[in-house]
Amino acid sequence: MTKASDYQQWASKIRASDQKAFHDLFVDSYQPLMRYALNFVKDTDVAKDILQDVYAHLWDIRDRLDEEKSLKALLYRMVKNRSINLIRSRRPVRLDDVAPAEQPSEEMSPVSIRPGGDDLLEKQLSEWIESLPPRQREAFELSRFEGLDHHEIADVMECAPRTVNNHIVSALNTLRVQLKQWKSERENRE
């Protein structure tokens, strides 16, 4: 995982119109941001367009980059805002737009042939995470999956770092309770 300091070094070079630093940042951050965008839009081509917009805009505003602020958080925030805007501007959504994206969750195929304890736990956890309150889930996922620190998450979610802390602690507490229940149910069965 790329270090936060790399991002800040890129930021100051990009500020000075350094094309190479821009390229390095692009190549390094592209796939994580792509995956993040796909959380919102579910369509690779749409996500590609969003990312093109984000990087082009970043280059446009390079002279206004604030070196004190996290560039990584800025990228995530731009991807999030553009994705949400796009979703909002497309409403009402045509049904045939949505159908393919929802299929995977409806299928719910058995995850593996031999559901060993760990695989099962992973699957359970994914479901529990999905049913967390939206803000808690967002904070947790940005921390766990995107590797953002609390200040960066606060930037993306536009709230105070303390609030991020609270969200993640609450999320973990909810998950712990579910984990405990799940474990005792399994033990009773055995």
What residues numbered 81-110 form the site for another protein, per CB under 8 A?
81-82, 85, 89, 104-105
Complex with another protein: residue 12 or 172, whichever CB lies closer: 172
Query: Which of 99, 144, 181, 185 is in the footprint of another protein by CB under 8 A?
Result: 144
- Closest CA relative to residue 87, chosen from 40, 156, 54: 40
**CB 186, min distance to another protein, A:** 14
Nearest-angstrom CA–CA distance, 13 and 29 = 16
Would you count residue 168 as binding another protein (CB under 8 A)?
A: yes
Closer Cβ to another protein, 180 or 186, answer by number: 180
Question: Are the C-beta atoms of residues 175 and 128 closer than 8 Å to each other?
Answer: yes
Kindly identify the residues of this chain, within the stretch 15-44, that bind another protein according to CB under 8 A.
23, 26-27, 30-32, 34-35, 38-39, 42, 44
Contact between 56 and another protein by CB under 8 A: the answer reads yes
List 16, 61, 98, 99, residue binding another protein (CB under 8 A): 61
Output the smallest distance, CB 127 to another protein, in A.
Answer: 7
Q: What is the DSSP string of the chain?
A: ---HHHHHHHHHHHHTT-HHHHHHHHHHHHHHHHHHHHHHH--HHHHHHHHHHHHHHHHHTGGG--TTS-HHHHHHHHHHHHHHHHHHHHPSPPHHHHHHHHHHHHH---S-SS--HHHHHHHHHHHHHHTS-HHHHHHHHHHHTS---HHHHHHHHTS-HHHHHHHHHHHHHHHHHHHHHHHHHHHHH-
> Taking CB under 8 A as the rule, does residue 136 contact another protein?
no
Residues that bind another protein (CB under 8 A): 1, 23, 26-27, 30-32, 34-35, 38-39, 42, 44, 47-48, 51-53, 55-57, 59-61, 64, 81-82, 85, 89, 104-105, 118, 121-122, 125-127, 129-130, 134-135, 140-141, 143-145, 147, 149-150, 158-160, 163, 165, 168-169, 172, 175-176, 179-180
